[in-house]
Amino acid sequence: MKRNTQTLPISIDAQQLVVTLNNKKILNNLSFQVSSGEVYALLGGNGAGKSTALKTLLGFHKPVSGQAVIEGLAVSTSLSAIRKKIAYLPENASLYPHLNAFENIEYFLSLAAVHKTHAEIKISLQQVNLQQDAWQKPLSKFSKGMRQKTAIALALLRDSPILLLDEPTSGLDPVAIDEFNQLVMSLAKQGAAILMVTHDVYGACQVAQRIGLLRDGALVGEFVADGGHQIDTEQVHKAFTAGVID
Amino acid sequence: MKQNLQSIQPVIMWKIARDEWRYWFRSKLAVVALLIGLTCTMLTVVVSVGDAFELEHQRGHAQQQSEQTFVNQPDRHPHRMVHYGHYVFKTPPPLGMVDPGVDSHTGNTIFLEGHRQNSATFADQKQSSGTTILGALTPAFVLQVLAPLLLVIMGYGVVSRERETQTLSILAAQGLGYGNLILGKISALLLVAMLMLLPLAISGIVVLSQGESLLTLSLFLVGYLLYLSIWILIIVSISLWAKSNSVSFSTLAFTWLVLCILMPRVATTVAGVMVPAAGKLEKDFAVVAELRQLGDGHNAKDKAFVQLEAELLKKHKVNRVEDLPLNFRGFVALKSEAEITSILNRYAEDRMHEELRQSFFARQFGWLSPQVALRTLSMLTAGTGLETHHRFLRETENLRFNFVQRLNQAHTNKLNYIDDMNRNKSEAAGQIARISAKNWNVIEGFKFRSSPSKERALQAMTPLAQLLLWFGMFGLFLRNLQRHYS
């Protein structure tokens, strides 16, 4: 467990975040940073505070102390500006079931005041490997993987420098997981800062340059990919299991 | 997600409203609800306007015929004409075609005759079949009771659906604030409400052509728009507050039940308890008992008129009624009718006073239910409220008293007392005890008119204030709720 030296600009900076919900401390002095071009995975069991950490970065929860800074702007004071920079993929990527993939993307982009042509949307849907015959079907007929792909296509079209992914591979089949991981790594290579929260040790090790181990709302350890190699799954698994059991 | 008024974006609101409409079009339930709402409003307006024209024509014709029939009676004994009687018809005001108000319960036709104050008859409710006993399907009923329910069916999930499917967080992540979201949803529902009001607004052209003032019509339409807007605020507030669609729907259905079904009935019951009134039968007995003490006006020899006879003989310095320069039987009828009318009017005024007091208490429930507030505003501006019905009763009573007394006057002055007393002795004597048909021209042409529009508008100020309070209260509630969730 060693700390990586940051060379790229820091996109996400969580500074000693303390978040209380219903009188219960969910985040306890949580601090971590994610740079552009980096995939950072927050790994933790159920109730560790993973989703709360993401929602705090999005401004859905207000920290009792500490602060979240996105690309140099404090979430507490520059929320609108920050949301323009973030693409968020919730755990259950529930877009509108009455709309088809195209309509969903067009609608959400229009609300974000992002203008994309049909051709650009098509490219994005092809990029996420959503089969073409499904594009005009309502999302109520989509599998979870297909909905996830649509949501990722939307995130890509936002051209956001920061991606927040909440349990992105949960419920996906192995082929879809592999495709998703490839996509995430390619986005990071293009310069996006990607923060994903997950309890999937193997998935995290496959894509992340760094993994933060979260327990009871605090970071209890961090693993860093060494010299272009993946993070050692066994080592993370051991620490994670110990953490969960402890 | 803090958002102030400066960050409200009409374009975003429009997009959200348009998507809500797209959702409704693709959701069968919402489309069915919308179609039912529009069809009901449209049909009731068309049928009511058609009925109103037909009824007005029928009543006008019947009024004219009734007056002609009376005037065309041959030479008769004048008191037979007192009992022959005459019908008068209440012409509904132009807005009565939308909201018949109390007319559907009280009736619109009165038979005027001597010694009696008949109740109005031919009330729609009394003529209807058992299935319509809960209320006819008028445009007012559709908009006051059904339209809020249809808005609930269409709108209960406007925000709770987004929360349940977690699209709220994606919307927020697009930089969309609750303010724009809520205003967009309100706009979508407002468009539904305006569509439901469209037939009413179109019927306004007919109403104006029938002589209704623009002031009253505007107040009437504003009242309905305000009422449906209040429901939209209630729907969006509860949908925003509810954790799930099912909670939102059940809460809204319960709210509708309380505000539109229960509260108006509670209002009537409480008013009845606050201002207890004797039943009709009890009052009729009391009137009859008091009238009995007056003596029988048909019998000039009744001991109740002995003093009257003595005074009259003394005044004219004669010893026998036969020597009086007037017909004593007619004079007794004249005096008796005045005394009877005085008693009947006293009871009628007491009853109307009680009804108004009950109505006052019932109308205070407008502070507790916007439906009660709108019902009052609608009836008062339409001119179909209790006050107008009371005016109709007073005007017709005045008409009755005048024509009966004119006939009694003719009886007194134009028919010889001895001929009158001998009228039943033979057929020939009966022929003699008659006066000319020229005397039947005693009925004033009757045309019931609405109260001046200014007066009706002033009467409607309290229910309008009640509606504005509801609007302001839920507007503030929604704003605070939005801030809380932001």
Nearest CA among A183, A122, A190 for reference residue A161: A190
- Residue A3: per-residue pLDDT: 43
B175·A92 Cβ contact <8 A: no
Q: Does A94 contact B166 at a Cβ distance shorter than 8 Å? A: yes
In tens digits, chain A (246 residues) has pLDDT values of 444 444 678 889 999 999 999 889 999 999 999 999 999 999 988 888 998 999 999 988 999 999 999 999 999 888 888 888 888 888 876 789 999 999 999 999 998 888 899 999 999 999 888 889 999 899 989 988 888 889 888 888 888 889 999 988 877 778 878 888 888 888 899 889 999 999 888 888 989 999 999 999 999 988 988 877 788 888 888 888 875 544
Considering only CB atoms, which residues of chain A are within 8 Å of chain B?
55, 58-60, 79-80, 83-84, 86-88, 90, 92-99, 107-108, 110-113, 138, 151
Which candidate, A238, A213, A236, A246, places its Cα nearest to that of A48?
A213
DSSP characters over B363-428 = HGGGGT-HHHHHHHHHHHHHT-SHHHHHHHHHHHHHHHHHHHHHHHHHHHHHS-HHHHHTTTT-HH
Residue B462 structure tokens: 């309290």
Q: How many CB pairs under 8 A join A and B?
A: 63
Supply the pLDDT for residue B294. Answer: 78
Pairwise CA distance, residues B205 & B97, whole Å: 13
Identify whether the C-beta of residue A122 lies closer than 8 Å to the C-beta of residue A156.
Answer: no
pLDDT (tens digit, 9 = 90+) per residue, B124-169? Answer: 544 444 444 445 688 899 999 999 999 999 999 999 999 888 888 8
A99 chain-B contacts, CB cut-off 8 A: 19, 22
Q: Give SS3 for B254.
A: helix
Minimal-distance CA residue of chain A relative to B161 = A96
Nearest to B175 among A93, A107, A112 (CB): A112
* Pairing relationship of beta strands A65-70 and A10-21 according to DSSP bridges: antiparallel
Selected residue with higher pLDDT from B224 and A239:
B224
B221 Cβ under 8 Å from any chain A Cβ = no
For A111, the closest of B23, B166, B174 (CB atoms) is B174
Chain A positions touching B175 (Cβ under 8 A) are 80, 83-84, 111-113
Which residues of chain B lie closer than 8 angstroms to A94, CB-CB? 165-167, 170
At B4 the pLDDT is 42
| Contact: A111, B23; criterion CB under 8 Å | no
Amino acid at B90: K
pLDDT tens digits, residue range B371-398?
Answer: 999 999 999 999 999 998 899 899 988 9
Whether A96 sits inside 8 A of B23 (CB atoms) is yes
CB of B245 within 8 Å of a chain A CB? The answer is no
Is 0.95 topped by the overall pTM?
A: no
Residue from the list A79, A90, A97 with its beta carbon closest to the beta carbon of B170: A90
Q: Do A83 and B175 touch (CB under 8 A)?
A: yes
Whether the Cβ atoms of residue B377 and residue B467 lie closer than 8 Å to each other: yes
User: Quick one: pLDDT at residue B432?
Assistant: 84
Q: What are phi and psi of A10, to 5 degrees?
A: -80, 125
Residue type, B9: Q
Q: What is the Cα–Cα distance from B199 to B143, expressed in whole angstroms?
A: 11
The ipTM is 0.79
Question: Who has greater pLDDT, A177 or B364?
Answer: B364
Continuous segment of H or E residues that includes residue B110: strand B109-112
- Mean per-residue pLDDT for B12-32? 90
pLDDT for the residue B451 = 86
Q: A173 and A23 in contact (C-beta within 8 Å)?
A: no
The answer to whether B169 contacts A112, with C-beta atoms less than 8 Å apart, is no
Q: How confident is the model at residue B182 (pLDDT cuts 50, 70, 90)?
A: very high
Rounded to the nearest angstrom, the minimum Cα separation between B38 and chain A is 24
Asked if A14 contacts A50 with a C-beta cutoff of 8 angstroms, the reply is no
CB < 8 Å to B172, chain A: 58, 60, 83
- What does pLDDT average to over chain B? 86
Residue B5 has pLDDT above 70, yes or no: no
pLDDT of residue A241: 81
Task: Say if the Cβ atoms of A83 and B172 lie within 8 Å.
Answer: yes
Q: Would you put residue B95 in left (φ > 0), alpha (ψ -120 to 50) or beta?
A: alpha
Rounded Cα distance, B400 and B348, in Å: 14
Q: What is the pLDDT of residue B130?
A: 42
Is pLDDT above 50 for B228? Answer: yes
